[in-house]
Amino acid sequence: MTAKSVSTTAAQRRYLRFTVVQRIEHFMMLLSFGTLGLTGLPQKYATHPLAISFIHFLGGIENLRAIHHVAATVMMLGTIYHILVVGYKIFVERRRMTMLPILQDAKDGLGAFLYNLGLRKTRPQMGRYTFEEKAEYWAFVWGAIVMGFSGFLMWNPITAARFLPGDIIPAAKAAHGGEALLAVLAIIVWHMYGVHLKHFNTAMWTGHLTEEEMLHEHPLELADLKAGVADRPVDPVALRKRQRIYFPIATILTIVMLVGVYGFVAAENTSTMTVAPQPEPVNVFAPQTPTTIPTAIPTFTPTPRPPTAVPEVGAATSVPAAAPTWDNAIAAMFASQCTMCHGAKGGTMGLNLTTYADASAGGASGPLFVTGDAANSLIIVKFSAGDHSAATLTPEEIALLEAWINAGAPEK
């Protein structure tokens, strides 16, 4: 047999790396993660044309959210299964915790960095799991914790606000979206390159690696396999004894975690339904002492004046200046002096001065002005007495307001 044929035979020898159950678990996590990314990012960037088209393709935002929530539930169930399996391997089978980071991983990372720069001649020799695989695994664990906690806060905001400050809800939204973007980019850039582009690793689909692949990626594990020391022998009697201890604990733990998932999903329906638009505008400002019945705007009836003489036809008359109205003077003055505090989104003390209708409605302190009676109008009283410290009006501006109110506070 030639050296070439020997090498070929060695390269074709295959070693089991992942069982069928592990591959199914990986596929379910891949499916749920991919679905979460596809349905989550359009919600984060909901105004982007691609996001709008994708939402319409799925039949609306409700369908998108439903798919997102189903995928999140699948990932939670997969996480529960993984916790139970890891517990069985560690406690019952006494497997070595080869996925735990150790100091050697830092050394391997530095060695790989130097090797890629050409400053080291050989690549680091690694065992069952490389430092890259460990980093990806623990990044997934960290991401699952952040996404799970922030997802619960957004899925159940009323329950969350009973125990935490209300500001935690928008903070959870920011953390959820940021972590989701980071996770998707890590998978696309890091995992796709390291597993599928740099060298196409099919172990998660076939379950096996060739000896050549093992020699390149996991030479220390290959050496242990050939030496027969990769797996520790298990005493059947001790195994059954540990199983009798573990199975009841795992059963209780499973029930507790499943109840937690049910509470996560079914506690509220606030994030699973879209409220229909209200027929009338809703005032989101709630004053400290709300008025249950709107107060009508008082009017002022001026005292009748004695009739004046009617000028003769052809006699010279003076043409008065145009009277101030909301459109030609008052709106601009309010926009420059007042709307920074009393703006369109529910101003200070419930007073909105951006439109004529809102200014006429007044605020929490009552009507802003009494039509036809500037002397008894709240705005004139406050500014004349200097009681409004946030802003001041010049005497000319106050006079303009008085003239406008006394003229009936016209809009046009």
DSSP letter for each residue of 4-23: HHHHHHHHH-EEE-S-HHHH
pLDDT (tens digit per residue) in 377-392: 888 887 777 766 666 7
Q: Residue 160 and residue 155: Cα distance in Å, rounded?
A: 9
> pTM above the 0.75 mark?
no
- The domain 13-266 is placed in CATH, from the list 3.40.50.720, 1.20.950.20, 1.20.140.70, 3.30.43.10, at 1.20.950.20
Under the banding of pLDDT at 50, 70 and 90, the label for residue 310 is very low
DSSP letters, 26-77, are: HHHHHHHHHHHHHHHHHHHTTTSHHHHHHHHHTTSHHHHHHHHHHHHHHHHH
The pLDDT of residue 313 is 45
CA dihedral over 131, 133, 138, 139, signed as positive or negative = positive
**Which residues are CB-neighbours of 13 under 8 A, at least 6 positions away?**
210, 211
SS3 108: helix
User: Does the pLDDT of residue 341 top 80, yes or no?
Assistant: no
CA atoms within a 13 Å half-sphere pointing along the CA-CB vector of 346:
7
Token digits of residue 44: 């984060």
What integer pLDDT is reported at residue 137 of this predicted model?
Answer: 93
The pLDDT score that the predictor gives to residue 357 is 81
pLDDT tens digit sequence for 14-24 = 999 999 999 99
Q: State the Cα–Cα distance between residues 254 and 12, nearest whole angstrom.
A: 42
Instruction: Compare 288 and 185 and report the one with higher pLDDT.
Output: 185
pLDDT, tens digit (0-9, with 9 covering 90-100), for 89-113: 999 999 889 899 999 999 999 999 9
Q: For the segment 75-86, what is each residue's pLDDT rounded down to a tens digit?
A: 999 999 999 999
Q: Give CA–CA dist 125/123, Å, rounded.
A: 6
Q: Where do the domains of the chain lie?
A: 13-266, 281-305+320-412
pLDDT at 318: 39
Across 2-6, 31-35, 290-294, 307-311, the highest mean pLDDT is recorded for: 31-35
Average pLDDT, the chain: 82
